[in-house]
Structure 1
Amino acid sequence: MARADLAVLFALGAALFIAIGDVIHQRQAHDVTAEPVGHVQLFTRLLRDRQWWLGSAVAAVGFALQAAALGLGSVLLVQALLVTSLLFALPINARLTHRRVTRWQWTWAALLAASVAVIVTVGNPTEGHARGSVDAWTAVVVVLAPALLLCVVGARIWQGPVSAVLLAVVSGALWGVFAVLTKGVVDRLDDGLWALLVTPELYVWAAVAVAGTAWQQFSFRSGSLTASLPTMTVAEPVVASALGVVVLGETLRPGEAGWLTLIAAVAVMVVSTAALARGEAASVSRTATAD
């Protein structure tokens, strides 16, 4: 079987396991305590929760499959396929919460997945380097860190679905960075254990994974799955794909017609994400009123 075909299989498997882990994490972020708690208190309570660790174990299988896929294919290809995790998560969450995924939710979810997949694949991507330079990563930190800080500040000002979306942007962006770092870590495995242990990316990779997990839980706690997960699903591949181009030197060759398609896909992505978040908020409001 060709390397690209194996990368596709591993990426789809990763999407499934990550979706299951996300659903478990979202439920436990709400169920671990009924009291209003801060971010640090929430995370420490989750670390003592067995169900949360079960979700983490399932997600870890997904990350291992993602790493295997990144070892075989480009960041652009793998992250495009990971968008399908949303299509797995919606019915799983509906089953556990005894709610039905409506037709419009399926429609918007499918449009969201398709639009992001188009954004990161229609450019006819080619593989670049496995690891980025120090200068490239420094530029990323200078640009990305202030943007994520503004999202955190905004999440403290606005509550509910808006807070969930902003925190989801932070988590998704961190997981996008994690994906690019994963490719470098996997590349060093071929050089032996010692070479891996002296690789700076390994320790940054671990720290980003912890941060991404923490902000993911904060987002899940702030709102419903349909408000937070679509945003994460968009932010991760978009950030990872951008870093794949800027840091790893992966290239896009969409052609003139391709650029028009990319612009249309971005518009669909924004509209479908907003529709999913707004629709879920209205649904939750109606349920609370009925109770």
Structure 2
Amino acid sequence: MGKADLAALFALGAALFIAIGDVIHQRTAHDVTDDDLSAGRLFLRLLKDRVWWLGSLVAALGFGLQAAALGLGSVLLVQALLVTSLLFALPISARVAHRRVTRWEWTWAALLAASVVLIVTVGNPTAGQSRASLETWGLVAAVLGPLMVLAVIGAKLASGSRSAVLLAFVSGALWGVFAVLTKGVVDILADGVPDLLRAPELYLWALVGVAGTAWQQSSFHAGTLTASLPTMTVTEPIVGSVLGIVVLGETLRPGEAGLFVLIAAIAVMVVATAMLARGEAGDARVSTADARD
């Protein structure tokens, strides 16, 4: 079994554990009744919740597998396969909530996962370098920072599923950055722990991980899993893949015919995310109609 095959296997295992952790986190965050909590205050409150820590432990196992996958394969490959976490999370969440996953959710979730996997298959990603300079990361912050600030402001002005989607974008973008930094941290770790402790990437990696977790909990608190997780699931691989290309020098080689397939897959991915985010509103309309009957 080659490195790419092992990376794919580890990525799928990571998707499963991260999905379980996300479901646990979403339920604990959504159970917090205070609506006016900031991301930081909500995060500090959840740190006192034992069930939330159980979800964190499970998610940590997933992040460990993700790190192993990134050590063997490209960011493009690993991040795209992590989108399958949505297919694990939907039935797990439904089982915990004692409901069935609707055909609507299954259809769009399958299209979402298939589109991202198709991007990897047709794109034929190749690995690049493992690390980037601090100057490069400064440029990344200058581009992503304002977008995330606008999303946070928009989330405060919105409510319900719209707020959850905007906060999920922030969390997903941070997790995309986290994935690229993870590849660098794993590369430095191969030279020994002393070198890792001297590397600035380690501390930036930890800061981004904490921020990504905090905004993730805020998104889970704002709406249902179908409102937040699809946006996170797509934003993370998109940001991670773009950074893999721009920052680490990874490449896609789709060919002339494959380029049209990539464009179509990206379009399906965006539409599927939007449809799943609307699932919360759709479920509410169905419940109201049933109550009237």
* TM more than 0.5: yes
CA distance in 1, matches of 2:217, 2:288: 22
SS of match in other structure, 1:202: helix
TM-score where L is the length of structure 2:
0.96
Q: Who is 1:63 aligned against?
A: 63
Q: How does 1:124-135 map to 2 (within 5 A)?
A: 124-135=124-135
Gaps of 5+ in 2: none
What does residue 225 of structure 1 align with?
A: 225
Query: Residue 171 of structure 2 contacts residue 216 of structure 2 at CA under 8 Å; is this kept in 1?
Result: yes
Equivalences for residues 45-194 of structure 1 within 5 A: 45-194=45-194
Tell me by how many angstroms 1:135 deviates: 2.9
Matched, 1:264 2:264: yes
Aligned 8 A contact 2:164 2:223 in 1: yes
Contact preservation (8 Å) 1:120, 1:238? no
Query: In the aligned structure 1, how far is the partner of 2:184 from the partner of 2:284?
Result: 42
Identity %: 71
CA distance in 2, matches of 1:231, 1:49: 25
Distance 2:46 2:70 in 1: 29
Per-residue deviation, 1:286: 4.1
Offset of residue 134 of structure 1: 2.6
Cα distance in 1, alignment partners of residues 206 and 121 from structure 2: 28
CA offsets 1:109-155 (integer angstroms, 9 cap, x no match): 00011112223442211100000123321221111101111111111
Q: Distance in 2 between matches of 1:24 and 1:105?
A: 19
Tell me if structure 2 keeps the 8 A contact 1:17–1:58. yes
2:161–2:280: 8 Å Cα contact kept in structure 1? no
TM-score (ref. length: structure 1):
0.96
Is the 1:15–1:84 contact (alpha carbons within 8 Å) kept by the matching residues of 2?
yes
Runs (4 or more) in structure 1 with deviation over 4 Å come to none
Is the Cα–Cα contact under 8 Å of residues 227 and 281 in structure 1 kept in the other structure? Answer: no
**Displacement of 1:12 after TM fit?**
0.6
Q: How many Å separate the matches in 1 of 2:33 and 2:148?
A: 28
- How many equivalent pairs are there? 290
Is the 1:170–1:215 contact (alpha carbons within 8 Å) kept by the matching residues of 2?
yes
Separation in structure 1 between the aligned mates of residue 106 and residue 194 of structure 2, nearest angstrom: 47
